[in-house]
Structure 1
Amino acid sequence: MDEAPSSPSETPQQRRLPRSYFKPKPVKVGDELELEISEISRRGDGLARVQGYVVFVPNTKQGDKVKVRISQIRPSFAVGEVIRPQ
Structure 2
Amino acid sequence: MEIPEELLCLFSAEIESDNETYRIEIPTREVTDGDLRPGEVYRVGLLASGSTSPSQETSKEESERRDQGPPIAEGDRRTVDIEDIGKQGDGIARVERGYVIIVPETEIGDRVTIEVKNVQETLAFGEVIEHVEPTLHE
**Aligned partner (choices 70, 90, 95) of residue 25 of structure 1:** 70
User: What amino acid does structure 1 have at the position aligned with 2:122?
Assistant: S
TM-score, scaled to structure 1: 0.73
Bigger Rg, which one? 1
Aligned residue pairs total: 69
2:83 maps to a residue whose letter is: S
TM-score, normalised relative to structure 2 = 0.47
In the alignment, which residue of structure 2 is the partner of 1:80?
A: 126
Instruction: State whether structure 2 residue 112 is matched by structure 1 residue 35.
Output: no
Higher strand share: 1
Q: Percent identity?
A: 36
Identify which of structures 1 and 2 has the higher relative contact order when contacts are C-alpha pairs closer than 8 Å and 6+ apart. 1
Amino acid at match of 1:58: P
How many Å apart are 1:17 and its aligned residue?
A: 5.3
Which runs of 5 or more residues in structure 2 are unaligned? 1-26, 31-66, 133-138
What displacement does 1:76 show?
Answer: 1.1
Distance 1:17 1:23, change over 3 A: farther
Q: Mapping of 1:63-78 within 5 angstroms?
A: 63-78=109-124
- How far 1:16 sits from its partner (Å)? 3.7
CA-based RMSD of the aligned residues comes to: 1.9
